[in-house]
């Protein structure tokens, strides 16, 4: 949700940060307990364009997503040498689903049909990241439809 900075309460900022950054920390820490002894595994964190730039009205979301990106980068450097692939996927655009369509109806209607990210196509990229050989791991990738401005 969009909140101008003077209308953003510390509770809202904290909750958004918890959802974005603390949630990633907790998940990463728990699954690494099982992956590290095996010396293999993949953790894919999902970011947004807010992971790399702020936007008016989205200070909380940008702060949370940038914190998640920094966490992902730290984890990649820490556990990558131990055989764990950590990657950050930036999703830059609308994703085809009923929830997003109801939240942003004007945006959906103004875009060409192939100007909206499709869940199956996103899943294919995640699958490709998972299957990468250790000699060519990707830390970060960004996905956007051809019509998205960036």
Q: Which CATH number applies to 5-143?
A: 3.40.50.720
- The predicted-structure confidence for 27-85, as pLDDT tens digits, reads as follows 999 999 999 999 999 999 999 999 999 999 999 999 999 999 999 999 999 999 999 99
- Tell me if residue 59 falls in helix, strand or coil: helix
- Tell me if residue 5 falls in helix, strand or coil: helix
> Which regions of the chain does DSSP assign to beta strands (E)?
41-48, 84-91, 140-143
The full set of domain ranges for the chain reads 5-143
Residue 5 to residue 9: CA distance in whole angstroms: 8
Tokens of 121: 């196509």
Q: Residue 100 — φ and ψ, nearest 5°? A: -65, -40
Residue 61 to residue 5: CA distance in whole angstroms: 11
Nearest to 8 by CA among 62, 68, 53, 67: 62
What pLDDT is attached to residue 35? Answer: 98
Kindly report the pTM of this predicted structure.
0.91
42 forms bridges with which residues in the sheet? 85
Residue 83 to residue 134: CA distance in whole angstroms: 8
- The predicted-structure confidence for 113-139, as pLDDT tens digits, reads as follows 899 999 999 999 999 999 999 999 999
């Amino acid at each position: 949700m969009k909140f101008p900075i003077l209308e953003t309460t510390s509770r809202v900022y904290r909750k958004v940060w918890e959802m974005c950054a603390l949630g990633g920390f907790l998940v990463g820490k728990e699954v690494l307990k099982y992956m590290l002894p095996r010396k293999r595994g993949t953790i894919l964190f999902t970011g947004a364009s807010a992971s790399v730039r702020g936007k008016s009205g989205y200070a909380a979301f940008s702060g949370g997503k940038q914190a998640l990106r920094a966490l992902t980068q730290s984890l990649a450097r820490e556990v990558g040498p131990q055989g764990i692939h950590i990657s950050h996927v930036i999703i830059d655009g609308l994703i085809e689903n009923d929830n997003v369509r109801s939240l942003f109806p004007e945006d959906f209607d103004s875009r060409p049909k192939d100007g909206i990210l499709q869940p199956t196509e996103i899943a294919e990229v995640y699958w490709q990241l998972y299957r990468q050989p250790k000699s060519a791991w990707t830390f970060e990738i960004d996905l956007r439809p051809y019509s998205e401005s960036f």
